[in-house]
Amino acid sequence: MDFRDYIRIGLQAEKMKLAKCSNIIKTAPVGRLTLRKNVNGHRRYYITMPGEQKAKYAGKKMMITIYKIKQRKKAELMVEIIKDNIAVREYVLENYRDCSDEAIEAMLPKAYRADEELTEKVFQQTGLAKKVHQSENPYKPEELRHVTSFNLRVRSKGELIMAEALHAAGFEFYYEKRLELYDEDGNIKVVYPDFTIVFPSGFIVYWEHKGRLDDRNYMLRDIDKTQLYYHNGIFEPHNLIVTTDGPDNMTDMEAVNRIINGMLMPLMGI
């Protein structure tokens, strides 16, 4: 899914919410609530119905009416905001232009399109290739289908976002670098952290991004990996960062930047 797909999903959800709120407004009673305290300090609701000037005390028998009036007020406010949100989403869908690498490549004349052989030769001649550490993980190399602007292949869009952010910040890092650890019995276990970030001082931070929390087997393997990390002195917040995708499978770019600026940047000088 691309950016527009998420906008469409959100638009559909907004329209469903609008219909629900509109139905509440149609069926809920009209009235104005006020809240007062009696001499004992207890809160009491008073209702002013249409055409009435004076607010009347609402006792226990009117609790359902009070609840429905509250729901109506909430729905009225939500309708105003939802209508604005729908207009914004529709404007974005109509005017948004895809600027992904794939979309731009398709717009370019053939002579200007990406040429992997040419790119590799240029990287080798300029020395840029030394800064790009490709995955050392032998597991399903065909899944490394997302390519960063600096020619690093990763497995997911979330990892692509993180790699781009780390690269832009100037960090020396490895993607899925082989790491030998020891289990409780002293046996060697090999893992491949998503990102291994090396600082000028030699200090190393590992960054794991979990993007498949709905996969039971993935989660079980992740638990074992976390225990292995801890047994080898790798744990949050000392030298391990753990992030996850949101419920919509989207990566929070703002959160990524907070981690880089708030946690990693200060380590550049240690």
**What is the Cα–Cα distance from 158 to 243, expressed in whole angstroms?**
10
Tell me the mean pLDDT per 10 residues along the chain, length 270.
75 92 93 88 90 87 92 95 94 83 82 74 56 84 88 88 87 91 88 91 89 70 86 89 76 81 78
pLDDT at site 114: 73
pLDDT at site 197: 92
Residue labelled with tokens 């004349």:
109
When computed from its CA atoms, the radius of gyration of the chain, rounded to whole angstroms, is 28
Side-chain-facing half-sphere of 44: CA atoms under 13 Å: 14
Render pLDDT for 25-75 as a digit per residue (tens, 0 to 9).
999 999 999 999 888 888 899 999 888 888 899 888 889 999 999 999 999
**What is the Cα–Cα distance from 193 to 216, expressed in whole angstroms?**
19
pLDDT at site 16: 93
Domain 132-269, CATH: 3.40.1350
Every domain range in the chain assigned CATH 3.40.1350: 132-269
pLDDT at site 213: 61
Before 50, cis peptide (omega within 30)? no
pLDDT at site 128: 46
Yes or no: say if 85 and 14 are a contact pair by the CB < 8 Å rule: yes
